[in-house]
Amino acid sequence: MRHLNYNHLLYFHTVAREGSIAKASEVLHITPQTISGQLKLLEESIGAPLFDRVGRGLVLSETGQAVNQYADAIFSLGTELAHWVSHRSSALHDRLNVGIVNSIPKLVAHGVLQVGLELDNPVRMVCREDTLQSLLADLAVHRLDLVLSDRPIPIGFGVKAFNHLLGESPISFYGREDLAAQYSENFPDSLDGAPVLLPMTGSAQRRSLEGWFEEIGVTPEIVAEFDDSALLKAFGEAGAGIFPAPIAIENQLEYTYHVRLIGAAGPLKETYYAISPERVLRQTAVRQITDRARQQLLQLK
């Protein structure tokens, strides 16, 4: 397909959103026969069916799902362009697309990114959580302006991007008042057999913790594992177990989740990076976000 017909893509995108040709016809004010004909031409140019028929409805095929993701991005940019043209504003530069690695605590991410909302010309932030590999893939095709991560770009990962160290914070264990009182005494030996809530296997923090447990000779009872840090803390607040978190957010943890510090996880630290497609950060919002993070949020306590 050498040239994309945007009318065909619009008809397809509307059918995908509305769930049927009939409903798309009502929205677009054209006949169902016209839409069917345009969809057929688009499928022929792509070389694969875009929909599978299930009963009386249409469901996106695997190819259709991929095409629809691109269509979402294309028409979103089109809407943004129309807004800029009508208002003669700098709207194209006011949007900041940020990817957040799902193992980073939500409180840390908020503390880093809130600067963007406090600028003289605040940015409209679009935040998405995912794995580092998935976010780096989106960064490579400019769907993201910045990725917040708790580890640098993996060695050998074929993406042209650059790590910008923000800072690091020691890791400690926290728990509800009753659990904190029980396990604070004789910590960290008290971790042996203690109920713990941990991030998923494979995360940077999990690998560090497992190495530390082995080093000090304790075997906690792993009650649950999470890839969502906020859900982990919610379980901690309910008393399901004690959990690790960076000391940089200790005050917020105590206030929001009503937990108390138990003890430091030895020399363990969590490190944070801003990953960008450029070696020198030029976007004003990105520079101010990274500068403030280095100065305040992630200073060692």
What pLDDT, in 10s, does the model give residues 161-212? 899 998 888 999 999 999 999 999 999 999 999 999 999 987 888 999 999 9
Burial level of 236, CB count in 10 A (0-12/13-18/19+)?
Answer: buried
- pLDDT value at 80 more than 80: no
Strands 124-130 and 95-101: what pairing? Answer: parallel
> For the residues 137-148, what does the mean pLDDT come to?
89
- Quote the number of domains for the chain: 3
Domain of 77, CATH number, reads 1.10.10.10
Alpha-helical (H) ranges within the chain are 6-18, 21-28, 32-46, 62-87, 91-94, 106-113, 132-140, 177-184, 204-216, 229-237, 250-257, 284-292
Give the tokens for residue 293: 């993070």
The whole-number pLDDT of residue 88 equals: 52
Instruction: Compute the distance between CA of residue 98 and CA of residue 124 in angstroms, rounded to an integer.
Output: 11
**pTM given for the model:** 0.63
Domain of 203, CATH number, reads 3.40.190.10
Contact 196, 256 (CB under 8 A): no
Instruction: Compute the distance between CA of residue 153 and CA of residue 159 in angstroms, rounded to an integer.
Output: 9
- pLDDT value at 297 more than 60: no
Angle at 59 between CA 43 and CA 14, to 5 degrees: 65
Identify residue 75 by its one-letter amino acid code: F
The whole-number pLDDT of residue 158 equals: 75
> With bands split at pLDDT 50, 70 and 90, how would you rate the model's confidence at 142?
confident
What pLDDT, in 10s, does the model give residues 260-272? 999 999 999 998 9
Same domain, 234 and 194: yes
Same domain, 253 and 174: yes
| Of 57 and 239, the one with more pLDDT | 239
Same domain, 245 and 104: no
> With bands split at pLDDT 50, 70 and 90, how would you rate the model's confidence at 87?
low
Q: What phi and psi values does residue 14 have, to the nearest 5 degrees?
A: -70, -40
* 223 falls within a domain: yes
Same domain, 23 and 48: yes
Domain span including residue 239: 168-271
What pLDDT, in 10s, does the model give residues 207-242? 999 999 999 999 999 999 998 888 999 999 999 999
Cis peptide before 246 (omega within 30 of 0): no
